Amino acid sequence: MNATLTLISDQDTVLSYLDEARKHHTQATIAKYLDIDVRTVRRWETRQTPPPAYLVHALQQLLPFGEDRPKGTFDFIDLFAGIGGLRKAFEQIGGRCVFTSEWDGYAQKTYAENFRDGHPIAGDITQVQATDIPDHDVLLAGFPCQPFLDWGVQEECLGKAHGFACETQGTLFFDVARIIEEKRPRAFLLENVKNLVSHDKGRTFEVIRRTLTEDLGYHIHYRVMDGAHFVPQHRERILIVGFREPTAFDFDALPLPPKGVHKLKDILHRTDGSEPVLPWDEERFFNHKIKRTQDKYTLTDNLWLYLQNYAAKPKAKGNGFGFGLVKPETWRVLYPRAITRTDRKSWCIKARAKIPAD
């Protein structure tokens, strides 16, 4: 099967925000806000030089808050949205988010900072009537994964029932299903932990598969994929895509980047003098004078010594409470499969030479 995967670059995204910002502000206003020369903005507009991709967030802040956003090539909704990771990807290919649901208060605050649309963030999706959700073409839902984690995590550490038996989170898939049934989107993307496939000897996933195909009449495809293809983290997740009509979709046709290309240093602040100055951050995170993150984000010598000593005690007893140390060149930061009372780990980034590698 021949298929083409179209990718929209960060460059396209920042240019689209620049064009939208220019509908509301002069070049001089934009230049002043970004603390750059107005001629630089002019060169961006005429496509003589490309604007840095990191300016997307700053340009978002220049758009009118609460006004209708430009219509996209398709509309989508963002359920169990977290801080908006799925939304960012779908906006980059021309989508427009018309509804968001996320119950965690801290995630809501971060989401609202990342995306200043003006539309409210719905909380508990179980309290939202499907008829009140706007019509949309695509439904996105990273429905809660905790009920489908390994048994040790859910029962021992979290103290909750497992799978669909978890009354607070295990049944939220069926809220996704009722919305699909009511709104009949053209397509959906669901995301969860890879254990969803094997949970309860496959019976949990069979219920999900039957609901989506036999009850709702969608054509589904699924694949467990590792985030290490895209980011420096080993994080396996199942992706379930569904289409209202038969579609020539094939996971095998998607060209995945090789693992190990992206290193941890790619997402860290740069200490070689090339870290961009972001006026809206107001030096909250990075000190450009000394070319490193603010001290409060780095372990002190005393805390570093305490952490090592604290790890030694449970290790001597055969338990795994401790820490992992990763370097900027690391490409595979592990995501713990199980976090129980006797096996907990925090990850630390080696930032200074005085911190030993071992």
pLDDT in tens, 73-113: 899 999 998 999 999 889 888 899 999 999 888 888 888 88
Q: Are residues 243 and 279 in the same domain?
A: no
Q: Tell me: do 25 and 163 sit in the same domain.
A: no
Residue 182 forms part of a structural domain: yes
Report if pTM > 0.85: no
Distances (CA, A) of 99 to 77, 275, 342: 5, 35, 40
Query: Looking at the structure, do residues 181 and 100 belong to the same domain, yes or no?
Result: yes
15 has pLDDT over 60 = yes
Distances (CA, A) of 1 to 181, 249, 250: 30, 9, 8
Q: Report the pLDDT value the prediction gives residue 159, as an integer from 0 to 100.
A: 45
Domain assignment of residue 260, yes or no = no
Structural domain boundaries, residue 40: 10-61
Does residue 238 lie within any of the structural domains? Answer: yes
Among 257, 258, 256, 252, which residue's Cα sits nearest to residue 3? 252
Same domain, 204 and 157: yes
DSSP string covering 105-147? HHHHHHHHHH------EE--GGGS-GGGSPP-SEEEE----GG
Q: Is the pLDDT of residue 14 over 70?
A: yes
| pLDDT reading at 342 higher than 50 | no
Identify whether 32 is part of a domain.
Answer: yes
Do 214 and 90 belong to one domain?
Answer: yes
Q: Taking all residues of the chain, what is their mean pLDDT, rounded to a whole number?
A: 77
Taking the CA atoms of the chain, what radius of gyration do you get in angstroms? Answer: 23
Q: Are residues 105 and 34 in the same domain?
A: no
Residues 176, 286, single domain; the answer is no
Is 191 found in the same domain as 90?
Answer: yes
Range from 44-58, 174-188, 283-297 that averages highest in pLDDT: 174-188
Among 121-130, 217-226, 330-339, whose mean pLDDT is lowest? 330-339
How would residue 320 be classed by pLDDT, with cut points 50, 70 and 90? low
Share of the chain above pLDDT 70, in %: 77
Among 198, 233, 253, give the residue marking a domain's end.
Answer: 253
- Could you give phi then psi for residue 345, rounded to 5 degrees? -150, 140
Cβ proximity of 185 and 177 under 8 Å: no
**pLDDT per residue over 209-266, tens digit each?**
999 999 999 999 999 999 888 888 888 899 999 999 988 888 888 888 898 888 888 8
pLDDT of residue 241: 94
Q: Catalytic one among 97, 145, 157, 166?
A: 145
| Chain-centroid distance, C-alpha 11 | 19
196, 219, 253 - which closes a domain = 253
pLDDT at 311: 74
Task: Give the full edge-to-edge strand order of the sheet including 236-243.
Answer: 121-122, 95-101, 74-79, 138-141, 187-193, 236-243, 219-226
Let me know whether 249 and 283 are in one domain.
Answer: no
* Cα–Cα distance measured from residue 277 to residue 282, given in angstroms and rounded to the nearest whole number: 9
166 is catalytic: no
Q: Give residue 345's pLDDT.
A: 53
Q: Looking at the domain assignment, is residue 278 inside a domain?
A: yes
Same domain, 247 and 302: no
Count of structural domains, the chain: 3
Q: What CATH number has the domain bearing residue 193?
A: 3.40.50.150
355 found inside a domain: no
- The pair of structure tokens assigned to 214 is 């036999």
- Give the residue-averaged pLDDT of 168-192: 86
With 0-12 / 13-18 / 19 or more C-beta atoms within 10 angstroms meaning exposed / middle / buried, residue 125 is buried
Same domain, 118 and 145: yes
Decide if 358 is inside a domain.
Answer: no
> Do residues 28 and 93 share a domain?
no
Residue range 143-162, pLDDT digits in tens: 875 444 444 444 443 344 44
Q: Is residue 4 part of a domain?
A: no
